[in-house]
Structure 1
Amino acid sequence: MSRHLPSGSVRLAALPCLITAALCATFPALADDTVPTFPTIVVTAPMQDSPLIVVTNPKAPRQPVPASDGADLLKSIPGFSTIRKGGSNGDPMLRGMAGSRLNILVDGGQIGGGCPSRMDPPTAYISPQLYDRVTVIKGPETVLYGPGNSAGTVLFERDFKRYAQPDASLESSLLVGSAGRNDQMLDVRAGTPDVYLGISANHTHAQDYEDGDGHRVHSGWDRWNADATLGWTPDDDTRLELTAGKGDGQAAYAFSGMDGARFLRESAGLKFEHERPGMVFNRIEAQFYYNHADHVMDNYTLRHPDPASMMPMAMASDVARRTTGGRIVGTFDWGEAWNLQAGIDGSGNVHTSRTGGPAGGMLPDYHTLPRQRDARMQTVGAFGELTWRLAERDRVIAGTRLDKAQAQGYGLSSGRMMGMPSMTVDATRSDTLPSGFVRYEHDLASAPATFYAGIGHVERFPDYWELFGRQADKSLDSFRQLRPERTTQLDVGLQYHDDQLKAWVSGYAGTIGDFILMTYGSGMNPGYARNVTARTAGAEAGLAYAFDGRWKGDATLAWAWGENRTEHRPLPQMPPLEARLGLTYDTGAWSLGGLWRIVTAQRRVAVGEGNIVGQDLGPSGGFGVFSLNAGYRIGRTWTLSAGIDNLFDKTYAEHVNAATAGLVGYVNTLRINEPGRTFWLKLDMKY
């Protein structure tokens, strides 16, 4: 049985509650006779804003229940899926591609998890509501944000501008829901024309949820994050910014014999921006960052060790990754026709681990053991992205980059010789990786629409999990022979936007040379990674239509397909066809909406194969889930929103999923079931 997650373990959690309560008493609701036009109260399907780009506000209430981490937020965007492991810390997938194929940046920096089984993906360290904007760039259609973005790029960003005069602002929110869910968020900002300060913090907590059959899933979590920003703006064109942050938490996992007992994050960064209006070389940006993730897995903090399992005694594994990096980019404008962004970037990280148990246990106390280094990885690259405005309605965007990637493995198995046990060796490998793209965009003269077509190529170096992870071979031969992926992809689409209708459709088709495929181990057969040739294709579409001033309908569709051409079988972990249909009635002061999510069955599987996150467990059935939401704007300052997810309490599981671990006291299912009927209520304040 799971142990209770201590909701009061983090003193920081009470701070947003106290400030919000004080503001309730101090600043009454700003009630106006005329309520201004506001954006949608509850977001159910973020739309594509421009060719291949989706921008969404992570602070806005959304259905399903507002996100506890980065993956929870991304799964609401068409084309994304999440591999569920418990209640939180799922792994995001875009167009059926997961792991390092999806480049995720936090305030421009990379943060890498440490768990060989991906208990802590980068999104596990991200609290979406602490950011102002999330931007998704689909496919290999940019070179500005680092290497390897074969599936796409995700940017979690904060916005700070120079204050024209001394001013201050505050945003806060409270969330309560089923399974003991309670979240608090605070974002305070103040400044003068010379300096500004921002402090943001949040806490999120939940107990185990129940599926539609009323069976409890080992899934509770408790997490907090806090960040501070200090900026200097001596003039309108210059900004120097220092950031620092920390966070920690716990999460129970249904897919593993261990839980996440610690998710410690320590971050720091320095940014410099300077603009030179009217000059050809008109902007320079420089950034340096440091991110440290320290993750502890154990089988005793949130559960009791199972004497009948493979880990009958109390055990813990402490893994850590320190990442440092930077970026310098300049912007050049030649009149209205040409714009160029060019620069260099790079990052390096070191992974360490130690294994033991709790103090006083049968195993040595892991806190007292030295950390063992097992991998060091680094990249450095140069890039340039050019926008050429051919005519009033025509644009060409093109980019190229060249990266040098290097990995060093420690303690690799050198193989067996004459029946003797293998020896361990250290080894280094490196590769030079070219990438680039070109895209044509045309604004139609006959309609407010844009057509685009682009082709991109990206080469991705094998990541930590493919070289050293739980399902990797970890031998010298595998380390040397696993080749970088080479993805070439065509993207085409059409965007339409007028006062009543916003619609888009996009399609893609690609070939992947040396696709890195994971074969999962079973019994005495270990897992390993190998290269195959693959093809991918898919499509996404969406529309939002305003029937009149109050009624609005929206619909999205996402389909992904993949094939292992080497072995003439499907690529594993491909999400099935998914549609979302929404209808909203919004008066400007209050709203009521419904969301119907429909997912088809998936029969194209490759059982036992997968990616660094999960494997195909077999065919899956389709399902439909209906949810309701409502919202009320209390003047200009307060917004109250609520929802019922999975209204009819359906029992279902996503196709892309992690296998359950068969925990004592829980019903054993093939896949981790999704939550049953879930109620939530959220209060937002912006002052």
Structure 2
Amino acid sequence: MATASDTTSTQAEDERQSIDEIVVSGRHLSSRDASIIVEQEFMVDVAEALSRLPGASRNQNGRLSGIAQYRGMFGDRVSVSIDGFGVISGGPNSMDAPLSYVSPMITERLVLERGIPGVASAPESIGGHVDAAIARGDFSSGERFDFGGMVGARYANNGDTTSLAGRLTAANRSHRVSLVGEANRADDQQTPVGRIVPSQLSRDRLDASYAYQDDRNEFQVFAGYLDTRDTGTPALAMDIRYIESQLYGASFGRQLSPDLSIDARVGYNDVDHVMDNFSIRPAPDMPMQYRQNRTGGDGFVFALQSEYSMSDFLLTAGVDGRLASHDSLITNPNNAMFFIQNFNDVERDVLSAFSAIRHESRNSDWEIGLRYVDVSTDAGEVSFSGLMDMMGMNAGQLADAFNAADRSLSFGNLEAVFKYSVRLTRDLAFSVDLGSKTRAPSYQELYLWLPLQATGGLADGRSYIGNLDLSAERSNEIAVGLDWAGERFTISPQAYFRDVSDYIQGVPATVMPANMLATMMSGNGALQFDNVDAEIYGLDLGWRYSLTERLGVEGSASYTRGRRTDVSDNLYRLAPPNASIALNFADSSWSLRGEVIAYDGQNRVSAYNDEQPTAGYGIVNAAFSWNASRSIRIDLQAVNLLDRGYQDHLAGVNRVRDVDIPVGERLWGAERTVSIGAVMTF
């Protein structure tokens, strides 16, 4: 909560704002964060918005399964929250990645913490922190209840993609009741070389909430529902049959005194998830190859935080936690005797405490913080049935070894972050972040006892086994940035370097039964998660030049290099160097945007899993927006206007046979796509 003594800090922040912030076209950039107003963007996957922020991108395993990537780290390494609440996913391959739990037209904004996240942001944010906010409406200013909301619709010709959204809010100055919802539907997507099969999608997202506020208190409670059906993930071995999720949460804040405030929140979500390899993609030739995987995840997240201000200092302290459970059972509908219990009664609990002190003055600010993170994990015994002959013998040896091992593990890690920024001149500011961040192994990296592809969405087509002897990753990082804001030109570059010890990735397995089993199933030996050493470094920036009051040009650029330092190899699935430039014109009632986005080829690929290089490419996009009235907005957009054929390095390789794109070939980008949308507010 804001405190009365925040006035000094707010004034200092306002004075700095003119030199460290770029705001244009619904996008904001400063040395501390980057954000985008998602509801103004044409997309079905909120993770796609990350690729429009410097240094960020997304690994795309399906049209609704985007995995956040920031400065060379992705997956569990990037902390993702929704309105400050962490999400417990249900699928071991991240088909329901955290950002799939929000839908674009009802998402108010997506905020990326630029540089090293502060200790108060989240535990295990070794690769960055992202928060998405649902648009639930505002309180009104009077005692009488006012009703407001929006309805919107969008259509894209490629795949007959439709989105329908609405929000109804009743509010006065103290109470707010809100109901929001969005439905997304699409058929298979077309590329210049044919259809991506399957790339159809179906998702419904609902959220109901009540909020209260007065001079000293804030309170909100919400209930949400996600229903995803028959959605393709062509870069993975199976597709989504359904994901049913319930999400609940409550938050409370109180101003105890002019200088002291507390905030608390608790959330729960439950996921039931089924995937298979025969319903919406061409089925295997042999009935014995049919596979269905039912998985589940559930658990609680909670946090308690206090802030105390004195003079120019702000003290923050808190505790938080995440208690998660996971299960996964693979079956064959053609053989009632077949099953593989690949994850059974898995628990991964994170408990953490932190403290930070921040000082702000007219020309500078600094922050230093410490966080201790305790991660405890455990798993039940596993079993299988229906694997015959040598496959059954090898699987039996692996199951026996796993069940006999000590599976109760704990990881205790101390993290530290220091941030400093100073105004050098009226137009120029300098910032530096120093940090040491950690991440304990995921449950897949620890407890995957049979060589399978349940790897948190790596999508490299290789079979992995876990490792109970893994250590936690530690990244020692420095990020240095400048912010220049002249009368017409603004730019915010940042350079960074990460030295990562005990980085977790696959290495050739030395477990003979796993290698024999993987070779019989796929023709390749197994990979085993292990600790290696790595470094990641790069530069990203955003800029804008105002030609006139209505006409401006803007752009961004990102470069990331990641490599192992213990052997000569590159890190897997890193975004290639890329840049964009856009011309914007805004009149009183309409705006026009044209942009060129260019990606360099990615030849620095990992050898350990035979990652394929990709060629560079560029595409041209255009967008038009017209405010037909104070309450109606019409949007038009054309993506890949010149209908170029290209392959996004982060899109993964095709895993589906008997379709237009051969198995093992990098998935192609969508052909020219024209979209139209309308939003009415009331």
**TM-score above 0.5:** yes
Pairs within 5 Å for 1:184-223: 184-223=164-203
Pairs within 5 Å for 1:177-188: 177-178=156-157, 179-188=159-168
The separation in 2 between residues aligned to 1:638 and 1:585, in whole angstroms, is: 20
Q: Deviations over 1:192-241 (max 9, x none)?
A: 334210111000111111112344442110101000001233x3221222
Count of matched residue positions in the alignment of Structure 1 and Structure 2: 622
Structure 1 residue 354: Cα displacement: 2.6
Task: Name the counterpart of 1:5.
Answer: none
Contact 2:438 2:474 in 1 (8 A): yes
Whichever residue aligns with residue 547 of structure 1, its letter is L
- Asked if 1:380 is matched to 2:351, the reply is yes
Whichever residue aligns with residue 483 of structure 2, its letter is Q
Q: Residues 370 and 600 of structure 1: is their aligned pair in 2 closer, same or farther, counting only changes over 3 Å?
A: closer
Tell me which of 305, 309, 325 is aligned to 2:301: 325
Contact 2:605 2:613 in 1 (8 A): yes
Whichever residue aligns with residue 109 of structure 2, its letter is R
Task: Name the counterpart of 1:25.
Answer: none
The separation in 2 between residues aligned to 1:93 and 1:510, in whole angstroms, is: 15
Task: Name the counterpart of 1:588.
Answer: 588
The separation in 1 between residues aligned to 2:294 and 2:126, in whole angstroms, is: 31
The separation in 2 between residues aligned to 1:303 and 1:662, in whole angstroms, is: 7
Q: CA RMSD in A?
A: 2.9
Contact 2:445 2:467 in 1 (8 A): no
Contact 1:42 1:630 in 2 (8 A): no
Whichever residue aligns with residue 622 of structure 1, its letter is G
The separation in 2 between residues aligned to 1:107 and 1:489, in whole angstroms, is: 27
- Asked if 1:393 is matched to 2:363, the reply is yes
The separation in 1 between residues aligned to 2:150 and 2:254, in whole angstroms, is: 28
Structure 2 gaps, min length 5: 1-21, 384-392, 457-462, 509-517
Task: Name the counterpart of 2:155.
Answer: 176
Pairs within 5 Å for 1:96-115: 96-115=72-91
The separation in 2 between residues aligned to 1:362 and 1:421, in whole angstroms, is: 22
Structure 1 residue 489: Cα displacement: 0.5
Tell me which of 442, 453, 461 is aligned to 2:440: 461
The separation in 2 between residues aligned to 1:478 and 1:255, in whole angstroms, is: 21
The separation in 2 between residues aligned to 1:639 and 1:608, in whole angstroms, is: 50
* Structure 1 SS opposite 2:650: coil
Pairs within 5 Å for 1:556-575: 556-575=556-575
- Asked if 1:485 is matched to 2:443, the reply is no
Structure 1 gaps, min length 5: 1-38, 610-615
The separation in 2 between residues aligned to 1:81 and 1:222, in whole angstroms, is: 23
Task: Name the counterpart of 1:155.
Answer: 131
Q: Residues 328 and 566 of structure 1: is their aligned pair in 2 closer, same or farther, counting only changes over 3 Å?
A: same
Tell me which of 324, 331, 355 is aligned to 1:356: 331
* Structure 2 SS opposite 1:247: strand
- Asked if 1:291 is matched to 2:291, the reply is no
Task: Name the counterpart of 1:494.
Answer: 482
- Asked if 1:440 is matched to 2:420, the reply is yes
Contact 1:85 1:672 in 2 (8 A): no
Whichever residue aligns with residue 405 of structure 1, its letter is V
The separation in 2 between residues aligned to 1:237 and 1:168, in whole angstroms, is: 25
Q: TM-score, normalised by structure 2?
A: 0.85
Contact 1:69 1:125 in 2 (8 A): no
- Asked if 1:257 is matched to 2:237, the reply is yes
Whichever residue aligns with residue 494 of structure 1, its letter is L
Q: Residues 482 and 441 of structure 1: is their aligned pair in 2 closer, same or farther, counting only changes over 3 Å?
A: same
* Structure 2 SS opposite 1:481: coil
Task: Name the counterpart of 2:321.
Answer: 346
Task: Name the counterpart of 2:495.
Answer: 507
* Greater fraction of residues in helix: 2
Contact 1:318 1:355 in 2 (8 A): yes
Q: TM-score, normalised by structure 1?
A: 0.85
Task: Name the counterpart of 1:607.
Answer: 607
Q: Residues 192 and 422 of structure 1: is their aligned pair in 2 closer, same or farther, counting only changes over 3 Å?
A: closer
Task: Name the counterpart of 1:674.
Answer: 669
Task: Name the counterpart of 2:10.
Answer: none
Tell me which of 131, 136, 140 is aligned to 2:112: 136
- Asked if 1:164 is matched to 2:141, the reply is yes
Whichever residue aligns with residue 671 of structure 2, its letter is G
Q: Deviations over 1:65-119 (max 9, x none)?
A: x221231222222212222223331222111211111000112222132323332
Q: Deviations over 1:143-174 (max 9, x none)?
A: 11321111110011247665432222212221
Contact 1:116 1:468 in 2 (8 A): no
Whichever residue aligns with residue 190 of structure 2, its letter is E
- Asked if 1:406 is matched to 2:384, the reply is no
Pairs within 5 Å for 1:219-298: 219-233=199-213, 235-250=214-229, 251-276=231-256, 278=258, 280-281=259-260, 283-298=261-276
Percent of residue pairs identical: 21
The separation in 2 between residues aligned to 1:554 and 1:379, in whole angstroms, is: 41
The separation in 1 between residues aligned to 2:365 and 2:220, in whole angstroms, is: 34
The separation in 2 between residues aligned to 1:147 and 1:171, in whole angstroms, is: 36
Structure 1 residue 40: Cα displacement: 9.2
Tell me which of 623, 629, 632 is aligned to 1:635: 629
Contact 2:65 2:233 in 1 (8 A): no
* Structure 1 SS opposite 2:445: helix
Q: Deviations over 1:402-424 (max 9, x none)?
A: 011101022369xx99x966512
- Asked if 1:683 is matched to 2:678, the reply is yes
* Structure 2 SS opposite 1:123: helix
Structure 1 residue 42: Cα displacement: 5.8
Tell me which of 596, 609, 623 is aligned to 2:617: 623
* Structure 1 SS opposite 2:381: strand
